[in-house]
Amino acid sequence: MTDLVTPLMNNEEWAYRQFVKEYGKRIYNICFYILHDPSEAEDTTQEVFISVFQSIHSFRGDALFSTWIHRLTLNKCNEKLRFINRKKRKGDMVLIEKQVDLASQDTSPEGLLIKNEEIALLFDAIRSLSENQHIAYTLHNMQEMSYAEIAENMNISVSAVESLIFRAKQNLKKYLIEKLNTDD
What distance in Å separates the CA atoms of residue 111 and residue 115, rounded to the nearest whole number? 6
Instruction: Between 111 and 18, name the one with better pLDDT.
Output: 18
**Cα 154 from Cα 150, distance rounded (Å):** 6
- Per domain, the residue ranges of the chain are 1-99, 102-184
Check whether 112 has a pLDDT greater than 80: no
Write out pLDDT tens, residues 32-77.
888 888 899 999 999 999 999 889 988 888 888 988 998 899 989 8
pLDDT of 154 higher than 70: yes
pLDDT tens column, 123-153: 888 888 998 999 899 888 877 889 998 998 8
The pLDDT of residue 2 is above 60: no
Average pLDDT over residues 97-107: 41
Q: 104 pLDDT exceeds 60?
A: no
Domain 102-184, CATH among 3.40.50.1100, 3.40.50.1970, 3.30.160.110, 1.10.10.10: 1.10.10.10
Q: What is the pLDDT of residue 115?
A: 62
For the domain spanning 1-99, the CATH number is: 1.10.1740.10
